[in-house]
Structure 1
Amino acid sequence: MNNSEKFLETYNNLDQYLKKEIRADDYVSYANKVKNSKNTVVNKFKDELLSFGTLRNAIVHNPKIDNKAIAEPHDRTVERFNEIYEIINNPKKVIPTFQFDVLGANKDDYINDILKQMKQKSFSQFPVLDSNEAIIELINNNTISRWLASEIDENGMIIVDGVTVENLIPEIEFKRNYKFISRDTSIYKAYDLFLNHINEKERNLDVLFITHNGKETEKLLGLITISDLAPLI
């Protein structure tokens, strides 16, 4: 199988995938399927996919010489098209990539214990849990800094003994600045949630909490920040 045949095979596979995804009629063009797709991965690679559509037309609609296509794709072009198709067809999910035991705390836990754990385990934030282990808020380094600034006495001293997590909650700058996603969410969809939040709220979303079905009442499987995703995207 030569490169043009490999390229057309990937093209046809993707065209059928997009047709099913948007439930398109037979007359809808490949380009319109790409443009109308709501798939976050398709949108990410939209420009490349449209270029591949142009190349496909050059292969199919131009006359052949010695039964060979005039536009014969380079090896890397074929590889790249296949890579993108595989990502679209089977995108990397947030689990197991971001699955780990999340450090959480109850409202009546002492903060000196939590701060020690944050340093030891290099965590920059932790969820506050109720008696049923459901998340009620998120404490991060910014919250802690704001609390410390408010507690400095006239001698520059800060007392943390006997201070609980509940004392930190009033210093949260943006309340409930997080979302829940399911374990089957793609890393591209997760990244889009961060970007959409920035565009809509004009501030960063702190974290995405991962549960089995994306419900707040379910057990935490992990969490993601935008800096975790950026190198993968």
Structure 2
Amino acid sequence: MSDPRRILITGANGTLGHATARYFLEKAPDCQVFLGVRERREKAESLAASHPGRAFLCPLEITQPDSWTTALSQIETESGPLSVLINNAGYHDDALLATMTLPQWSGVLDANLNAVFLGCQAAIQPMMRQRWGRIINIASLSALHSPAGQTNYAAAKAGVIGLTQSLAKETARLGITVNAVCPGHIEGALPTGWSDEQIKAVKRETPMRRFARPEEIAAVVFFLASPEASYMTGASLKLDGALV
């Protein structure tokens, strides 16, 4: 296959998902971007409206297998089989393990790990038929350098890295690459409740003395989704300004 044409980005209304979608639309004029969203659709709707015929809303509940089936069927009917899946959606719900509730644990695992499994499983079928595909899973620096208070999130994102490495071995002969990206702190997507002093302190701890711009992460995702990244698979790329 030549240039990837049909790209599904989950969590497309969030800071990184929105920036990634915009990056593809600006850098790859021939691509079609499907914006996976559940609620809070305003940014995705605006992006779709500004790129008619190239960006499309794709209603998707990432934790529900039937929703994945419907979404990929919609994409194939409207445009053709999926070429690129970017598993970006997720959230964190931090607490110390001693006081963490079961819903806090299971909810974060469901959205950040189980949903990636469902997405990969759904995307593999059209990619196998084409014998070409790109899967990029957005993990987190928390998977590699886990902070206190994030046992659920760190476990889920570490699971994403393990899933990525194993799936890459299963699909390597089929022309399908599977990689993970592990961003550190991203401007516009910092934990809610951080004070100005906390932000300054974390920046001081970061050798680059700043956080990542969303488009810097998007640029790496863009490369991983390209034909030129054909020999890179099973990788977990740390993007943290040398924090770790």
Same fold (TM over 0.5): no
Higher strand share: 2
The TM-score, its normalising length taken from structure 2, stands at 0.20
Structure whose CA Rg is larger: 1
RCO (CA 8 Å, sep 6+): is it higher in 1 or 2?
A: 2
